[in-house]
Amino acid sequence: MQAITVRDRDAGLAGMSLTDMPYPHAAENDVIVRVHAAGFTPGELDWPATWTDRAGRDRTPSVPGHEFSGVVVELGYGTTGLSVGQRVFGLADWARDGTLAEYTAVEARNLAPLPADIDHTVAAALPISGLTAWQGLFDHGRLTTGQTVLIHGAAGGVGSIAVQLAREAGARVIGTGRASGRDRALALGVDAFIDLQTDKLEGVDDVDVVFDVIGGDILDRSAALVRAGGTLVSIVVPPTVQPKDGRAIFFVVEPDRARLADLATRLRDGRLKPLVGAVRPLTEAPSAFAPGERPPGKMIIRVTEDRTGDRS
């Protein structure tokens, strides 16, 4: 099969290429999925798990990408709850070969069924952004109806999902970002938008939850915005500045089959719309990782057309 691989941590993007890889092995409770569309995080080449397994051993050449949509083509021993030919989407394990490949091996518990009327390219934009937004707002931030949440990067992949979920939960939403994202954030339903380049962030106070996807100085300054009993949540780094009489939390998104299924239902019902940006073929995935100005929305790699396939 063909896959995007990285071989040399020091080489960075220069060491990324489209290569032939062995067809993956389905371990116990695994499934093999024919990948139709995949998402990636630009910073993956900086993650230790991209280069080593859970025991710290080198696992290169490794395949990046950790969210995807596709069709089950093989079940590992003991796998239940899924069937060959079934459309699925979800997350690949951080320390295993990922999803920028024609086939990938994934634990069945990391996947959810994908309804037939949801396009693979849309579904592939949802797992990391959707689960991160939900877990940040509700599992860690404990956001409830009537509260106020400030969402940094409100027009981005994670932030845009967080805005929609918070609005549906009945929260007041303040979004932040660059001026270029103002119209997108307002269209998603933010009650107010703060341009981080020109507006005064400190003008906001008594926020129940701050959801941070930016880090740095913005994260540090956000601690002062949280009311007593409120929560500062970051997915970038552990906060070093604590809210007065509040909580500060850093977390890494975790797989959740039930929540993925719930997000798919919201997608079908029109209550949730991931921001899908450019869609590129697998051959262009290395250039898609390159830094620089990116188009709005989540970039998706289309690996194969919407049909099942045999091993290759």
| Rounded to 5°, angle at Cα 71 from 160 and 156 | 10
Structural contact between residues 140 and 249, judged by C-beta atoms closer than 8 angstroms? yes
Distances (CA, A) of 40 to 45, 87, 285: 11, 20, 9
Whole-angstrom distance, CA of residue 145 vs CA of residue 244: 23
Q: 174 phi and psi, to 5 degrees?
A: -110, 125
Note the pLDDT tens digit of each residue in 62-79.
999 999 999 999 999 999
pLDDT at position 310 is 41
At residue 168 the predicted structure's pLDDT band, cuts being 50, 70 and 90, is very high
Residue 118 has pLDDT above 70, yes or no: yes
Q: Kindly report the pTM of this predicted structure.
A: 0.93
Note the pLDDT tens digit of each residue in 170-216.
999 999 999 999 999 999 999 999 999 999 998 888 899 999 999 99
Position of tokens 């975790």? 254
Note the pLDDT tens digit of each residue in 248-304.
999 999 999 999 999 999 999 999 999 998 999 999 999 888 877 566 788 999 999
Note the pLDDT tens digit of each residue in 8-49.
988 888 889 999 999 999 999 999 999 999 999 888 888 999
* DSSP designation for 95: T
